[in-house]
Amino acid sequence: MDAFYASAEQAAKPSLRGKPVVVGGLGPRGVVATASYEARRFGVHSAMPMAQARRLAPNAAYLVPRFTLYRTVSEQVMELLGRLSPLVEPLSLDEAFVDLEAGGTADDTASAMEIGEQLRGAIEAVTGLSASVGLAGSKMLAKIASEEAKPDGILLIEPGTERALLAPMSVRILPGVGPATADHLRRAGMTTVNDLAEAGEAELVRLLGKAHGSSLHRMASGYDDRPVVAERDAKSVSVEDTFDTDLHDRVRVRTEVERLADRCVQRLRGAGRSGRTVVLKVRRYDFSTLTRSETLRGPTDDPAVVREAAGRLLEAVDTTGGVRLLGVGVTGLADFTQEDLFAQAAGERTAAEAPAAAGPDADAAADAGGARDEEPAQESPEQLAARRWPAGHDVRHDTYGHGWVQGSGVGRVTVRFEEPESAPGRVRTFRIDDPELRPADPLPLVRNPVDYSSWPARLPKSRSGAVSAGAESRP
């Protein structure tokens, strides 16, 4: 998908079409997730600090991600891809490989191009968004083709032309070559794919080791035999937050950990999974990052169990000086839960509550042991408003209907009232506690999408080929 998050926001908000849009974290430490092509003309790109993006494109629209919408669109796209082949390998919400041979979808380059064009049309008709498609005989080349086709294009790499196509490209185009490896190769005088191919396997093995060197030499020569794997089973589920200012209050840190644990369990249950190892991640004021884990007796999806395990892990972490990031994750995933863990959680809660009924010494114990029952540090009205009314998120007003938040501050929230298929709407401002205004779910990007339930109608016999429909590379 092309500039997926930003394109989805433009499709949902008529007033933003054709204008620079940046999606990501909006706090002082926020990072750009996706920038529209209009914003990229100013130099804004993914993984850039949001503060730098604002300096480059001060007049762009800056929005908080709406993952509920993005997941809905992703499911629509993946369903279309599943009609082409039983072998679909999702890489992210907006990118996947499809094995056309397994689906019997194309038997030569002409039919491969035809099905690629049909796919692009189907995606646009169902979601209202554009996609770029790359077709080739391997995953690596299909991925490269989709990148070269952007935006809103299609490219097929003809069999036999792979080596010539790759030769002048940067070594960074190859899978497994990140900044560190690229710098190592540059110091050895290798900056293009052709340099790698001509260096020979023995030299790359000497520089990078047996496995990496051999793999890189094969790819530099145009060979990639990695199969399309339909089941990319998640190994973990996690959530994390970076805070605008360091958290110093221990009770506030504990509250945030419990909130993250609940969000993690929601995501875990949404995937129909459970897990047995709880992981806590803490990044401190000096950027040092600590991880702690606890393995339970069996897999669970009980929020109380995960909260309490994360809380125990936090007790062993020194947060003196402040915390800038917290994360909670669950690993060791399974498709079932261990029922006695519910009793475990209840027992631990009973034990934790016991001092409260133990008599006069209970208050002294609480004073000595920490402020578990104290009120956490209060957020400012501005922080509360930003949390309740995130920029770009959906709202509904009893009088004016559906809209989205343009911004909030000084006790007010500004809303533009428009829908995906309406004209650009009017802007109105309300008190942040206006009883007629409330958060809402995203509207479909296409109110009456074309029915592709029987697509593709006829599938010719296939001999070879792989297709990649995908997005820009993510860091």
d(CA 204, CA 181): 11
d(CA 475, CA 472): 10
Say if residues 151 and 178 touch (Cβ distance below 8 Å): no
d(CA 324, CA 248): 9
Where are the strands (E) in 335-410, listed by range? 394-397, 401-409
Stretch (H or E) spanning 143: helix 139-149
Q: Would you call 251 helix, strand, or coil by DSSP?
A: helix
3-state secondary structure 156-195: ECCCCCHHHHHCCCEHHHCCCCCHHHHHHHHHCCCCEHHH
Where are the strands (E) in 335-400, listed by range? 394-397
Smallest CA-to-CA distance from 139 within 103, 166, 175 is with 175
d(CA 97, CA 275): 28
In this structure, how many other beta carbons lie within 10 angstroms of the beta carbon of residue 246? Answer: 15
Query: Residues 6 or more apart from 404 whose CB is under 8 A from it?
Result: 12, 13, 392, 393, 394, 395, 415, 416, 418
Q: Would you call 74 helix, strand, or coil by DSSP?
A: helix
Q: What is the DSSP letter of 49?
A: B
Say if residues 430 and 56 touch (Cβ distance below 8 Å): no
Smallest CA-to-CA distance from 49 within 30, 36, 68, 63 is with 30
d(CA 239, CA 263): 7
Catalytic residue from among 38, 89, 95, 418: 95
Q: What is the DSSP letter of 243?
A: E
To the query of whether residue 95 is one of the catalytic residues in this protein, the response is yes
- In 176-249, alpha helices (H): 179-187, 193-199, 201-208, 210-220
Catalytic residues: 95
